Amino acid sequence: MPGWKNNLYKLLVKSGLTHLSAYLNRHKLVILCLHSLSLKDEHLFWPGVFISRDKLIPILEFLKHSRYNVISLAEAQRHLQGEVTYDYPVVITIDDGWWASVADLLPILEDYQFPSTTYVTTYYCDHQIAVVNVLLQYWLWKQPVDTISLSFNGKDYQFTGSNSELVKSIESSIREFDDQTKMAFLAEIADFLGQDRADLTDRRFHNASYDELARVVQNPLHSIQLHTHTHRLPEDTAGIQREIGINREKLTASLQPPYGVDHLCYPSGIWQPGHIPELEALGVRTATTLDEGLNNRGEHLLKLKRNLVMDNRSLDQLKVTMSGIMDMAQRLKQKI
Ligand SMILES: [Zn+2]
């Protein structure tokens, strides 16, 4: 982040402009997006997914002591539909269902009595192993290489290319392996890259299990909702129905939540206009994107804007985003 930008955010906050803007936008809904808590150095590896405790706590303290009201997604839907009115409403969402988000992040939110919605991808609940592509990216971030070669079960493997090419070709080579064989193969890669095999089992890169998620469902502060089964939302009807259907069925059957599983977060925030009628037909009540901004009352419920909370962004930047001043500046620019 260039220094001048941070200075600008600081100035906008100090001058009281964000305070005024937040007041003018006080009926607009702010949705925040978190993923997981960093337990070691994951926040340095991927600041948009893993947030450090040091960064998170000041944000929660700000929410607690400011005019903002953290409300549940269900209440936010009622607010957007005009059934109730909240001033300065904020919703906290958590993507993917990472183990650390359930084991560490949710208890912190409970300390603040903040409601939350966790959108869970079920493939890695079924497969209690490290999320392969993320763990590989983590190791390659720590130890970048052009080539990985190893022997496994009597076969020689060689992978070459950029980090993302390496990850893709390793993933496709082991796709048909069972979970145990995948982990044994990744242990060989850990050795080749000089990385710690403990990363495979310490669960920093796992999703929570159904048993762990079932405990979350017991707490009325939290809600577990849809994020597709394999973290992708195809564009064809059958693909959409499959991804949402399997995801919903697994969450419902395994967790038996006392509420409907009918709120979706688009995987990686990616959505297409063609998704909307399909989601309506599936009874999806709200869907969140990663398009930054605030939500007006009357906003389309399947195109909700959401703001990523990142470890490498300042609290001042978050205050500016939440105040809606950027939306106002954008609108002004369009008018000129
Ligand atoms: Zn996700």
Residues 74 and 213 in one domain: yes
- Output the pLDDT for position 115: 98
Q: Which of 177, 200, 223 is the last residue of a domain?
A: 200
137 and 244 fall within a common domain: no
Distance 154 CA to ligand 1 centre (A): 36
Q: Residue ranges of the alpha helices (H) in the chain? A: 3-14, 17-24, 42-45, 53-65, 73-80, 99-100, 106-111, 123-126, 132-142, 163-174, 179-193, 210-217, 237-255, 275-281, 315-323, 325-335
Shared domain for 154 and 13, answered yes or no, is: no
Interatomic CA distance for residues 284 and 303, integer angstroms:
12
Closest CA to 67 of 99, 89, 91, 40: 89
The helix (H) or strand (E) run that includes residue 105 is: none
Domains of the chain: total: 2
pLDDT at 336: 73
Q: Please check whether residues 170 and 214 belong to one and the same domain.
A: no
170 CA distance to ligand 1 middle (Å): 21
Query: For the chain, what is the radius of gyration of the CA atoms?
Result: 21
Structural domain of residue 179, as residue ranges?
A: 132-200
- Do 90 and 159 fall into the same domain? no
In whole angstroms, what separates CA 316 from the centre of its chain?
Answer: 21
- 44 and 192 both lie in a single domain: no
CB atoms within 10 A of CB 237: 13
Instruction: State whether 105 and 156 are in the same domain.
Output: no
Contact 138, 130 (CB under 8 A): no
Q: Are residues 266 and 117 in the same domain?
A: yes
Residue 329, pLDDT score: 80
Q: Are residues 115 and 243 in the same domain?
A: yes
Residues 190, 77 within the same domain: no
Q: Which residues surround ligand 1, an ion (CB under 5 A)?
A: 95-96
Supply the DSSP symbol for 208: P
**d(CA 96, ligand 1 centre) in Å:** 5
In the chain (336 residues long), the average pLDDT of successive 10-residue segments reads: 86 96 97 98 98 98 98 98 98 98 98 98 97 98 97 96 97 97 98 98 97 96 98 98 98 97 97 98 98 95 98 97 89 78
Calculate how far, in angstroms, residue 7's C-alpha sits from the geometric centre of ligand 1.
31
Give the three-state DSSP class for 11: helix
Output the pLDDT for position 306: 98
* Predicted local distance difference test score (pLDDT) of residue 327: 84
